[in-house]
């Protein structure tokens, strides 16, 4: 019984990790999608700065072109 609980916990941990990775990938792709517009407004900003600003602010950019994709 104890071994079964450990397996369940490992599986849940893996699923949780997968969810986190997918969230990070989604955030990166959203930043990639919104960067050209931001760069047009602020030519001195790097992609890294743009991404960090979005992540630290917790802002979710609109998912224009990416709505049809499934992650």
* pLDDT mean for each 10 residues of the chain (71 residues): 63 76 91 95 95 80 46 43
Show the tokens assigned to 13: 């941990």
Rg (CA), the chain: 17
9 falls within a domain: no
Distance separating alpha carbons of residues 43 and 37, to the nearest angstrom = 10
Q: What is the pLDDT of residue 56?
A: 87
Q: Is the pTM of this model over 0.85?
A: no
Q: How large is the greatest C-alpha to C-alpha distance in the chain, in angstroms? A: 60
Sequence-separated (6 or more) residues with CB below 8 Å from residue 21 = none
61 falls within a domain: yes
30 falls within a domain: yes
Our count of domains for the chain comes to: 1
4 falls within a domain: no
The domain containing residue 49 runs over which residues?
24-71
């Amino acid at each position: 019984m104890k071994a079964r609980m450990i397996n369940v916990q490992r599986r849940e941990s893996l699923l949780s990790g997968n969810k986190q990775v997918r969230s990070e990938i989604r955030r990166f792709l959203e930043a990639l999608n919104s960067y050209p517009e931001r760069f047009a407004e602020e030519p001195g900003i790097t992609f890294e700065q743009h991404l960090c600003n979005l992540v630290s602010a917790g802002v979710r950019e609109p998912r224009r072109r990416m709505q049809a994709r499934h992650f």
